[in-house]
Amino acid sequence: MFDFLDSGQYDVLGAFWVTVQLTLYSAVGSLIWGTVLAGMRVSPVPLLRGFGTAYVNLVRNTPLTLLVIGCSLGLSQTLGINLGGDTFKETGFRLAVLGLIAYTGTFVCEALRSGINTVPVGQAEAARALGLSFFQVLTLIVLPQAFRAVVAPLANVLIALTKNTTVAATIGVAEAALLMKEMMENEAQALFAVFAIFALGFVLLTLPTGLFLGWVAKRVAVKR
């Protein structure tokens, strides 16, 4: 039943490795971008607040597929921005990461913002009473506590991101979903076996992440 795996024609592990890489780069990027956005959305400067709110509302309501395809068709093919990628493969990967960061950053931002709300008012008030500036209040007092409160929601975002990397298949990045599509077309008689392999791959990627980060979340949560 699984004999098509022996032909050496399909690099299943390689495809999942691309999925993992997509996830890791996008996770780091969207964590940074999301934190910046959250900082903007709570900042004392009205213009920055407005930009943050507008960005989050616009991007969150756009399909990720459109963002990724927009990166490929719009940025790369029409405007010639290839993000320093030399080959088609490299460019596609970077464009997919860009789209994923733009999209996932908004979810990180919203998770962090709700985390900021869990920090008791007294913390920020005490910090202000000591004369700390907004930037100091945010980075020294509020965000460290907020991050500890949002490990669980951020874990959900990370798991969603892992699954969302499959969208990169729409611009031809050779990750798991694209290989599955190809295998389903070529090995139609083994449809269920192919699906089982890839489903198992994703369960193996997402389940341990959820369990591990759930454990971390319990450990680091601020007991109030």
Partner 1 sequence: MTSVLYDAPGPKAKVRNWIYSGIFVVLFALVMWWALSLMAEKGQLAADKWTPFVTDSQVWTTYLIPGLLETLKAGALAMVIALPLGAVLGIGRLSDHAWVRGPVGTWVEFFRAIPVLMLMLFSSALYSPQFMDVPSDTRPFWAVVTGLVLYNSAVIAEIVRAGVLSLPRGQTDAAKAIGMRKGQTMAYVLIPQAVTAMLPALVSQLVVILKDTALGGALLGFAELLSMNRQISANYSNTIATLFVIALIYIVVNFALTSLASQLEGRLRKSKKGTGAVLGAEEIDDPVPGANTAAGA
Rule CB under 8 A: which of 69-98 touch partner 1?
A: 69-70, 73-74, 77-81
- Write each residue from 163 to 202 as x if it is in contact with partner 1 (CB under 8 A), else as -, in one continuous string: xx-xx-xx-----xx--xx--xx--xx-x---x--xx--x
Binding of residue 64 to partner 1 (CB under 8 A)? yes
> Cα 73 vs. chain centroid, distance in angstroms?
21
Binding of residue 1 to partner 1 (CB under 8 A)? no
Binding of residue 220 to partner 1 (CB under 8 A)? no
Using the contact rule CB under 8 A, the part of the chain among 10-18, 22-30, 94-102, 110-118 near partner 1 is 110-118
Least distance from partner 1 to the Cβ atom of residue 22, Å: 12
Binding of residue 126 to partner 1 (CB under 8 A)? no
Show Cβ contacts of residue 135 under 8 Å, excluding neighbours closer than 6 positions: none
> Cα 202 vs. chain centroid, distance in angstroms?
15
The pair of three-digit structure tokens given for residue 107, joined into one six-digit string:
């979810």
Binding of residue 211 to partner 1 (CB under 8 A)? yes
Answer yes or no: are the C-beta atoms of 124 and 137 closer than 8 Å.
yes
Number of residues that bind partner 1 (CB under 8 A): 72
Using the contact rule CB under 8 A, the part of the chain among 4-12, 26-34, 61-69, 88-96 near partner 1 is 61-69
Question: How many Cα neighbours within 13 Å face the side chain of 140?
Answer: 12
The pair of three-digit structure tokens given for residue 42, joined into one six-digit string:
């709570």
Which of 12, 20, 24, 48 binds partner 1 (CB under 8 A)? It is: 48
Answer yes or no: are the C-beta atoms of 12 and 5 closer than 8 Å.
yes
Q: Quick one: CA dihedral 16, 171, 97, 166, positive or negative?
A: negative
* CA separation for the pair 47, 209 (Å, rounded): 37
The pair of three-digit structure tokens given for residue 218, joined into one six-digit string:
């319990």
Binding of residue 17 to partner 1 (CB under 8 A)? no
- The smaller minimum CB distance to partner 1, of residues 203 and 220, is found at 203
Least distance from partner 1 to the Cβ atom of residue 8, Å: 23
Closest CA relative to residue 105, chosen from 40, 173, 48, 45: 40
Q: Any idea what DSSP says for residue 76?
A: I
Binding of residue 53 to partner 1 (CB under 8 A)? no
Which of 31, 37, 110, 149 binds partner 1 (CB under 8 A)? It is: 110
Amino acid identity of residue 220, one-letter, is V
Binding of residue 63 to partner 1 (CB under 8 A)? yes
> Cα 154 vs. chain centroid, distance in angstroms?
9
Least distance from partner 1 to the Cβ atom of residue 213, Å: 9
Least distance from partner 1 to the Cβ atom of residue 169, Å: 6
